[in-house]
Amino acid sequence: MTEAVRTTAQTPAQARAVFRAGAGTPTDGWCTGYTQANLISLPADWAYDVLLFCQRNPKACPVLEVTDPGSWTTALAPDADLRTDLPRYRVWRNGELADEPTDVRDVWRDDLVTFLIGCSFTFEGALADAGVPMRHIDQGRNVAMFRTDRPCRPAGRMHGPLVVSMRQIPAGLVDTATRISALMPAVHGGPVHVGDPAELGIKDLSRPDFGDPVESQAGDVPVFWACGVTPQAALMASRPPFAITHAPGYMLITDARDVNYRIV
């Protein structure tokens, strides 16, 4: 079903309508060319700490948009309802995962400030255009994401480890992937590490902390990018009383174009 639905949902508005109706599938590979975003909503009294955490960890948390308190709309997708239009959410209470619904209207609060954060899916289209294979998409899987042993720079009450997404890339294309993603700093920019998972404290590439395991092919090298799930890991560590996020891999599809985040 997913493939058929994805093929017919050609515009972001159509995709959001599919998700609003309740379908909960990962969004990687949907609406090629349109920017996807991580979502994190917290009470307004946490907003400064979160925004400063993002400023201090810009590769992991490139902020695309911040709403005013209580607002569930965004200039990045003017007709979207941020409470219904993502395919799956996570609801957090005191840093613990409390629920994974497809709609958060019933738990929405008037004091929530929502951060939309750049997503590495944005540069995948540019990489694919340059001939870089996307193994996880070819295998019909969510991208693999890992908690690292590198702490983010803390900000007020917000602290936690860097989370990375990993892509297996043919060795001869690593330089291309590095250069192209570096030109898109608003969506994580260039890799944080190439080659050795142990350098990031990752023990087993076949057991990601978020998303799915992805099979490599001969000659592939694992390449690691800072990931927009980093704020979720910070929620688990920092334990705000309440928060809503997207489920990893189940993103907001915006009306913005990926090319707009490429700087040259």
CB 50 within 8 A of CB 152: no
Candidates 99-107, 136-144, 183-191, 242-250; binding stretch for a copy of itself (CB under 8 A): 183-191
Residue number with CB closer to a copy of itself (65 or 209): 65
φ, ψ for residue 52, nearest 5 deg: -70, -40
Which residue in this structure is represented by tokens 């590495």? 120
Residue number with CB closer to a copy of itself (18 or 180): 180
Candidates 24-32, 97-105, 166-174, 184-192; binding stretch for a copy of itself (CB under 8 A): 184-192
Give CA–CA dist 250/253, Å, rounded: 9
DSSP per residue, 85-100: SSS-EEEEETTEEEE-
φ, ψ for residue 112, nearest 5 deg: -80, 130
CB 247 within 8 A of CB 28: no
**Quick check: 159 binds a copy of itself (CB under 8 A)?**
no
Tell me how far, at minimum, the Cβ of 104 lies from a copy of itself, in Å.
23
Binding mask of the shown chain, residues 58 to 97, with x at each position contacting a copy of itself by CB under 8 A: -----x--x-------------------------------
- 51-89 as b/e: b if 16+ CB within 10 A: bebbeebbbbbbbbbbbeeeebebebbeebebbbbbbbb
Give CA–CA dist 111/228, Å, rounded: 23
Tell me how far, at minimum, the Cβ of 60 lies from a copy of itself, in Å.
15
Tell me how far, at minimum, the Cβ of 234 lies from a copy of itself, in Å.
17
**Quick check: 152 binds a copy of itself (CB under 8 A)?**
no
**Quick check: 189 binds a copy of itself (CB under 8 A)?**
yes
Residue number with CB closer to a copy of itself (29 or 190): 190
Site residues for a copy of itself, window 12-51 (CB under 8 A)? 47-48, 51
Residues that bind a copy of itself (CB under 8 A): 47-48, 51-52, 55-56, 63, 66, 179, 182-183, 185, 189-190, 263-264
